[in-house]
Amino acid sequence: MEKAALLEAIIENAIDGLITMDERGIIETINPSACKLFHYSADEIIGQNISTLMPQPDRAFFESYLFHHRKDGYLNGFGMPRELVGIAKNGRQFPLRLGFSQVKYSGRIIYAGFIHDLTREKDAEGKLQDHTALFEEQIEERTRSLRTNVSTLQKSQDELNLSLDKEKELHQLKSRFVSIASHEFRTPLSMVQLSASLIDSYSETMDRINIKKHVVKIKEAVLNITAILNDFLSLEKLDLGMVKPDISTFNLYEMASELAQEMQIALKGNQKIIFKHRGSDKMVNLDQNLLKNCIVILIDNAIKYSGSDSQIYFYTKVNEKNCTIRICDNGMGIPESDHKHLFQAFFRAHNTGKISGNGLGLSILSRYTGLMNGTVNFSSKINKGTLFTLTFPLNKNHEQKNTDY
């Protein structure tokens, strides 16, 4: 009797809910904790099916669970605690853990159910999940901020590197300018000084032949300096955006033919300029002065870097879509390693030696060509000559002429 009383006292004062039911799920006993949990009195709940304390779909699941256990006599995992949802008398639903044990008593089977309210645990778990989600969101936000800062820092670093590269390039450009300008100016100025001294000497004896010879040298030196200054001025105007193409319609054949004749005075030794126009049409829409400057630069280079017995080929061609100008020589050629730098201002190929030049011609040529929407292409091999090709798209508004020259 004492043990029975002790057991009853333990059940009545247990923190968790305790329920006994028959094998159909009909509640036979319920302790105060279970009554308090579901807000039922013992009289209200005893005799009811335990599924009454569960909402759907847990109610249907539990009824099916008991049915199969009663039918088969055994279910794998029976008695293991399961998390379900309970429903109180007032309709409040809450999470619970329900575990069963099977007891054989007085020739029948009784199920003892142990019910534990999971509300606090689930609330704590939900808060933990909320905090975790908030923490992850904060981490993600800080990660995005860090990525943005890193990206900004990288962009600033790239801009700084670009600025440093431009500064370095500008410094190298200035160095090349000083070196080339001092060399190119020194030679003709020395010639002027020497010729002036000799003229002064020859004037005492009235040696007109030598005086005239040195006057010519002074004029040539002045023209050379003027040409150099003109190149510098052209480059400055291009940098300032002051050069604008003045498009007009003109006869390319006539302009090129006259230019080929004018350039004869610049030839050295037995050099020859061979000019030929191809195509029936000769009219183009371009800036005549810019185009003429481009051709002069190329022919002048061909003369300068070719031997005294060489031939310089000058071709022009006009078709329906574009016009092309080709200047070809069989001179010293351009080293392959210098090809990528060829159109940079003040750059000169490494094999030019003592041949005079300021390294501006091809840079100006490239920019003049670009102003007329043209392109420059070249091919060159050491000691086998160089071919330059200028190509310009045409928007021709004039009538085609079929006159052959």
pTM of the model: 0.48
What is the reported pLDDT for 64?
A: 76
Of 287, 377, 280, residue with least CA distance to 325 = 377
Quote the tokens at residue 68. Answer: 């199969």
Quote the tokens at residue 1. Answer: 């009797």
What is the reported pLDDT for 335?
A: 92
Backbone angles phi, psi at 302, to 5 degrees: -60, -40
* pLDDT tens across the length of the chain (405 residues): 576 677 677 777 788 899 998 888 899 999 999 999 999 999 999 999 888 898 888 788 777 777 766 666 554 445 678 888 999 999 999 999 988 788 887 888 888 889 999 998 888 888 888 888 888 888 988 888 888 888 888 888 888 888 777 767 655 655 555 555 555 555 565 566 666 666 666 666 667 777 767 666 666 566 566 655 566 566 667 667 777 888 999 999 999 999 999 888 888 889 999 999 988 788 999 999 889 889 988 998 899 899 999 999 999 999 888 999 999 999 999 999 989 888 887 777 888 877 766 678 888 889 899 999 999 999 999 998 999 999 999 875 444 333 332
Residues in Cβ contact with 375 at an 8 Å cutoff, skipping those fewer than 6 apart? 369, 390, 391
DSSP symbol at 382? T
Of 293, 302, 283, 260, residue with least CA distance to 368 = 293
What is the reported pLDDT for 313?
A: 95
Backbone angles phi, psi at 257, to 5 degrees: -65, -45
What is the reported pLDDT for 172?
A: 60
What is the reported pLDDT for 180?
A: 56
Of 196, 197, 187, residue with least CA distance to 221 = 187
Q: Which domains does the chain possess?
A: 2-117 (3.30.450.20), 123-239 (no CATH), 248-393 (3.30.565.10)
Chain mean position to CA 8: 80
